[in-house]
Amino acid sequence: MCGIIGLISEQEFTLKEAFMKLKKLEYRGYDSFGYYDTEILIKKTGHIDIPRKNKKSKIAILHTRWATHGGVTDYNAHPHQSCDKNITIVHNGIIENYQELKDDLIKRGHKFRSETDSEVVAHYFEEKLKTKSIKESCVDFINEIKGTFAVLLIKKDENRIYALKRDSPLVLGICNNKNILASDIYAFSDISDEAIFFENDEFAIVEKDNYMFFDQHGKKINKKIQKFLWEQEESEKKKFRHYMIKEIMEEPKVVKRLLFSFKTEQKSNFNKFIELIKKSKKILFIAAGTSYHASLLGVYYLHECGIEAQTLIASEFRHFATIDKETIVIAVTQSGETMDVIDGLKYAQKKRAKIISIVNVPYSTIQRMSEVSLNILAGQEVCVAATKSFVNQVTILLAIAKEFGFKINLDTLAPRIESMLKQENKIKKIAAEIYMKNDIYVLGRGLSYPVAREVALKIKEISYIHAEGMMGGELKHGTIALIEKGTPVIALISNKDYDMLSNAKEVEARGANVIKVANELNGDINVPTSNDGKFGVLAAIFGQLLTYHMALERNLPIDKPRNLAKSVTVK
Ligand code: F6R
């Protein structure tokens, strides 16, 4: 959450060029944005608005915010400055001891302009610089600050950017005649494939043609430049109205690319992955949100092959996981930066469990924490809601389950997805019938239960309609009291699952408007597969299209739903 960028260059760049880079990180938060280049400071609420000014610079720091401490106001937007305006910073993370530091700085005469935790960083350095060098101040910062941070700092009289990191992501992109610091590689992956990833408690001094890295004691360290491979998707929406629908339509293509990679560049990692699972005594997935739903499907598929596995929601992992060195923990994540997942993995590391992962963003923190990691290869997902990355996560889990005996022909998955996408108009009609409703229930059993939860999550986050994804069998234990005449209930029925059919009948008898998404029987939407594995993927795609069209009818900001961010880097 929050995206930060630092640019330092031999040649001048325009304000527009700098903001175009920030735009690439807007998915990390879009409450407010800001810019500083030693001459001008911009701080504004709302989505990034590229200034028309014809201004050029050789140094700048930028920020796009997802608010945590302090409301969405111009004052709370980053960058923040010290009292003397000599120090300007942008920050991603949470300074946990900010109140204590702030009280002390106020006593020393500092005046604060915002309600944020981040502003203390600027005043902290201003105070330190009264007695110490900037490098010594960086060392003190790393040792005295509690919490998480990726900080970029400009000292007005110097032509360099100071960068400090703990737990929040930070990477240095090595580009021709310029260096770019950023929360992730998207900021520069169009112009460079070389980067240096910061590890925790490191800081760097970055100049236009030079950089130096230091550890938490101020000792110089040598860092390796990593060459990264990134499937750069066409970043323009082109004929599509929204990224969401563009990304849904890319699903057949990314599935094919992923399956091909298992025979080619990912073959060896895939085999290692399977070997590690086979050797472990206990298999535990960890994930959040949509990725959790994918992992739940993974558990189902493995269970079908007689393999015991469990999944836990990342934010509760510590409280419910019993693990030891014979446990394998499999993280499933699009961004590879979700703080709840990182936190759970740290706990697993302490217990000496093995960590492997399924990740979309290469070189992300979670990938770097893993012994082996499989790339999801969905390409960049710009829309905040996960769609194609979910499909590829599930495809990986199906491929893994297949190694343990799950019956599926994955070669026909992409064509089946194409057939599902062709039903868009039918789904659009259903959306037009129900988009004004206040509540929608989605029911599933067995493999369709995780999908029911995923469909409901998509409906909530994109269409802003309250939705519940439930086990069909659990409904009668309470929630059925909420079913009234006309309440939409989506029933996901795979292979004439009679228990699920009965659950659909039970709500129908109480006047619900039941929408049957089924194979092997005449549903409102016919899922073109007889395979349970593929049913999961295709029914989820039905949900993606339904949500998209309901949100269109409601005229909502589909790609950037309120209050959300794509990379959730706070606990
Ligand atoms: C929903 C969505 C979120 C993410 C969740 C985990 O569409 O995108 O629920 O799935 O925040 O994120 P990752 O997969 O990046 O760990």
Ligand 1 lining (C-beta closer than 6 Å): 288-291, 333-335, 338, 341, 385-386, 457, 461, 568
Host H or E run for residue 4: strand 3-14
Q: In what order do the strands lie in the sheet with 194-197?
A: 41-45, 32-36, 56-65, 3-14, 178-182, 171-175, 194-197, 226-227
Pick from 186, 285, 291, 558 the residue to mutate for probing ligand 1's pocket: most ligand atoms within 8 Å of its CB: 291
Average pLDDT over residues 264-282: 96
- What residue's CA is closest to ligand 1, atom 16? 333
Compute the distance from residue 292 Cα to the ligand 1 centre, in Å. 8
Q: Is the pLDDT assigned to residue 427 strictly greater than 80? A: yes
Compute the distance from residue 273 Cα to the ligand 1 centre, in Å. 23
Q: Is the pLDDT assigned to residue 231 strictly greater than 70? A: no
pLDDT digits (tens, 9 = 90+) for 492-527: 999 889 999 999 999 999 999 999 999 977 889 999
- What is the pTM assigned to this prediction? 0.89
Compute the distance from residue 178 Cα to the ligand 1 centre, in Å. 33
Q: Which atom in ligand 1 lies closest to the alpha carbon of residue 361?
A: 15
The CA distance from 146 to 332, in Å, is 28
CATH class of 421-571: alpha beta
Pick from 290, 358, 367, 460 the residue to mutate for probing ligand 1's pocket: most ligand atoms within 8 Å of its CB: 290
- What is the CB neighbour count within 10 angstroms for residue 180? 23
Compute the distance from residue 447 Cα to the ligand 1 centre, in Å. 20
pLDDT of residue 172: 97
CATH 3.40.50.10490, domain 235-407, yes or no: yes
291: left (phi over 0), alpha (psi -120 to 50) or beta: alpha
Which three-class secondary structure state does DSSP give residue 393?
A: helix
Average pLDDT over residues 164-183: 94
What are 292's two structure tokens? Answer: 């959790």
- What is the CB neighbour count within 10 angstroms for residue 175? 17
- State residue 414 phi and psi, 5-degree precision: -60, -50
Hey, what amino acid is at 394? V
Q: Which atom in ligand 1 lies closest to the alpha carbon of residue 341?
A: 16
pLDDT digits (tens, 9 = 90+) for 357-369: 999 988 899 999 9
What's the per-residue H, E or C state across 199-247? CCCEEEEEECCEEEEECCCCCEECCCCEECCCCCCCCCCCCCCCHHHHH
What are 228's two structure tokens? Answer: 């990264």
Domains of the chain, residue spans: 3-227, 235-407, 421-571
Same fold, 3-227 and 421-571: no
Q: Is the pLDDT assigned to residue 9 strictly greater than 70? A: yes
Q: Is the pLDDT assigned to residue 566 strictly greater than 90? A: no
* Per-chain mean pLDDT for the chain: 95
Question: How large is the greatest C-alpha to C-alpha distance in the chain, in angstroms?
Answer: 78
Q: Tell me if 128 sits within 8 A of 137, measured CB to CB.
A: yes
Active-site positions read 2, 566
pLDDT of residue 322: 94
Pick from 286, 293, 335 the residue to mutate for probing ligand 1's pocket: most ligand atoms within 8 Å of its CB: 335
Host H or E run for residue 441: strand 439-444
Compute the distance from residue 45 Cα to the ligand 1 centre, in Å. 24
pLDDT digits (tens, 9 = 90+) for 68-113: 888 999 999 999 999 999 999 999 999 999 999 999 999 999 999 9
Q: What percent of the chain has pLDDT over 90?
A: 87
User: How deeply is 519 buried, as exposed, middle or buried, from its count of CB atoms within 10 A (0-12, 13-18, 19+)?
Assistant: buried
Output the CATH code of domain 3-227: 3.60.20.10
Q: Which atom in ligand 1 lies closest to the alpha carbon of residue 462?
A: 7
The CA distance from 143 to 93, in Å, is 16
pLDDT digits (tens, 9 = 90+) for 437-448: 999 999 999 999
